[in-house]
């Protein structure tokens, strides 16, 4: 049977995630991968999870394995509200927190509820590829917003909103993927004002906010303009990505719509995994584990920065993130990133060419995203030295 004629119109421009294809290639033995975007397996608290499994079965019984509401498992919504209020300067009731199947699930729901074909979405350039993958099936048009070392340039957002009706703006304000950049406090206030003035909606994606190794906590844009922001978070980086537990805090009037579309997609997120996450938070385990995760990643980040400082040529620049999992290298304009990538792979070092993170599909030829969470410090230094040798 032939199927091409059966495909929906929306599939015409869709293709496999290029990064995913890269990751398949570089998972071969002997390749040092700075390409991944995944937490270190050393960060998973296996002993605690083992214990939590028993506790959840004991405490919740069959309810942990039954169908549950689309909104989310009540004890987890309660635990997350407490966590966000205590540690992130939120002021939430549990019924304002909704559970999604990873933060990806929240991005899909946002796209489904809001994007009609041709709608304009404001994005950073570069931006997180997974968000584009969630939005693409709903056929938006991306509008690049200007960014610099401190993240989104607020004037660029202001000017764009004066000219164009954006359906929403998508930002990763903390330790952005791919650049590692963080939107400064003063810019967050400016962005909040702009959103309110233009009655515009922001999707604030915060997967890395907990992974801060240096500097001080910065309040979310959501806290500054609660009615104009869908805040999205996840437990993937501070508990386990394989459990697929994310969450979102939408403005009141969007709550029902987001729940309706999630219901059609997966009915609800795994009850058992939500119960594990609830007990992880309620039992005080995150508070004990997070410092060890930070202690695992900070030396890796510092090792990568030290190696870049020592080995990389002057005409290259890179970000100095205070947290997260990535840093971003820019070469001189006109630099042939593809040639570099191919030579790097030949020398058994992999990373993700930065061009894949631009919604326009053409910028970023001279850029690269380097991940520092997977390899150990010595390997990171060796890999950076190898890359520098090629440059």
> Interaction with its own copies in 126-165: which residues (CB under 8 A)?
130, 133-134, 136-138
Helix (H) / strand (E) containing 282: helix 271-282
> Interaction with its own copies in 52-71: which residues (CB under 8 A)?
53-54, 57, 61-68, 70
Interface with its own copies includes 93 (CB under 8 A)?
Answer: no
Write down how long the chain is: 391
Angle, helices 255-266 vs 102-114, to 10°: value is 120
Nearer to its own copies, 116 or 346 (CB): 116
DSSP 291-303: HHHHHHHHHHHHH
Interface with its own copies includes 378 (CB under 8 A)?
Answer: no
Only one of the segments 169-177, 246-254, 332-340, 383-391 lies at the binding site for its own copies (rule: CB under 8 A); that segment is: 246-254
Token pair 């909103």 is at which residue?
161
Q: Which residue among 6, 13, 162, 163 contacts its own copies (CB under 8 A)?
A: 6
Least Å distance, CB 3 to its own copies, is: 4
Helix (H) / strand (E) containing 169: strand 166-171
Instruction: Say how far residue 194 (Cα) sits from the centre of its chain.
Output: 23
Could you report how far apart the first and last alpha carbons of the chain are, in Å? 50
Q: Which residue among 13, 199, 216, 314 contacts its own copies (CB under 8 A)?
A: 199
Nearer to its own copies, 54 or 346 (CB): 54
> Interaction with its own copies in 100-119: which residues (CB under 8 A)?
101-102, 104-105, 108, 112-116, 119
Instruction: Say how far residue 257 (Cα) sits from the centre of its chain.
Output: 23
Only one of the segments 85-93, 96-104, 208-216, 303-311 lies at the binding site for its own copies (rule: CB under 8 A); that segment is: 96-104
Least Å distance, CB 46 to its own copies, is: 6
Burial 130-139 (b: 16+ CB within 10 A, else e): bbbbbbbbbb
Question: HSE on the CB side for 147, CA within 13 Å?
Answer: 26
> Interaction with its own copies in 202-241: which residues (CB under 8 A)?
227-228, 236, 240-241
Cα–Cα distance measured from residue 42 to residue 40, given in angstroms and rounded to the nearest whole number: 5
> Interaction with its own copies in 347-366: which residues (CB under 8 A)?
none
Least Å distance, CB 245 to its own copies, is: 8
SS3 letters for 62-116? HHHHCCCCCCCCHHHHHHHHHHHHHHCCCCCCHHHCEEECHHHHHHHHHHHHHCC
Helix (H) / strand (E) containing 106: helix 102-114
Q: Which residue among 15, 162, 346, 362 contacts its own copies (CB under 8 A)?
A: 15
Nearer to its own copies, 57 or 282 (CB): 57
> Interaction with its own copies in 249-308: which residues (CB under 8 A)?
251, 253-254, 256-257, 260-261, 263-273
């Amino acid at each position: 049977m032939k199927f091409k004629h059966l495909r929906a119109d929306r599939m015409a421009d869709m293709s496999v995630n290029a990064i995913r294809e890269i990751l398949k290639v570089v998972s071969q033995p002997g390749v040092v991968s700075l390409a991944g975007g995944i937490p270190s397996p050393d960060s998973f608290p296996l002993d605690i999870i083992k214990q939590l499994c028993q506790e959840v079965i004991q405490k919740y019984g069959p309810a942990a394995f039954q169908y549950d509401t689309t909104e989310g498992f009540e004890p987890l919504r309660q635990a997350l509200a407490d966590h966000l209020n205590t540690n992130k300067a939120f002021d939430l009731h549990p019924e304002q927190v909704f559970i999604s199947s990873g933060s990806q699930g929240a991005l899909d729901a946002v796209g489904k509820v809001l994007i009609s074909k041709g709608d304009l979405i404001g994005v950073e350039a570069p931006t997180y590829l997974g968000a584009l993958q969630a939005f693409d099936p709903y056929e938006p048009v991306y509008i690049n917003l200007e960014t610099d070392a401190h993240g989104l340039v607020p004037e660029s957002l202001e000017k764009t909103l004066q000219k164009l009706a954006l359906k929403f703006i998508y930002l990763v304000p903390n330790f952005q993927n791919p650049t590692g950049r963080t939107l400064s406090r003063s810019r967050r206030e400016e962005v909040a004002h702009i959103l309110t003035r233009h009655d515009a909606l922001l999707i604030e994606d915060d997967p890395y906010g907990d992974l801060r190794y240096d500097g001080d906590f910065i309040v979310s844009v959501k806290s500054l303009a609660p009615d104009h922001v869908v805040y999205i978070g996840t437990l993937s980086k501070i508990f386990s990505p394989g459990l697929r537990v994310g969450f979102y805090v939408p403005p009141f009037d969007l709550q029902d719509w987001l729940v309706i579309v999630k219901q059609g997609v997966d009915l609800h997120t795994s009850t058992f995994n939500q119960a594990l996450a609830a007990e992880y938070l309620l039992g005080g385990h995150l508070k004990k584990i997070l410092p060890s995760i930070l202690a695992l990643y900070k030396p890796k980040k510092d090792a990568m920065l030290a190696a870049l400082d020592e080995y990389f040529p002057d005409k290259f620049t890179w970000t100095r993130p205070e947290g997260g999992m990535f840093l971003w290298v820019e070469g001189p304009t006109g630099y042939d990133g593809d040639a570099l990538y191919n030579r790097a792979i030949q020398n058994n070092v992999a990373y993700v060419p930065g061009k894949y993170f631009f919604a326009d599909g053409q910028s970023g030829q001279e850029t690269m995203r380097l991940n520092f969470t997977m390899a150990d410090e010595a390997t990171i230094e060796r890999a950076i030295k190898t890359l520098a040798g090629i440059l």
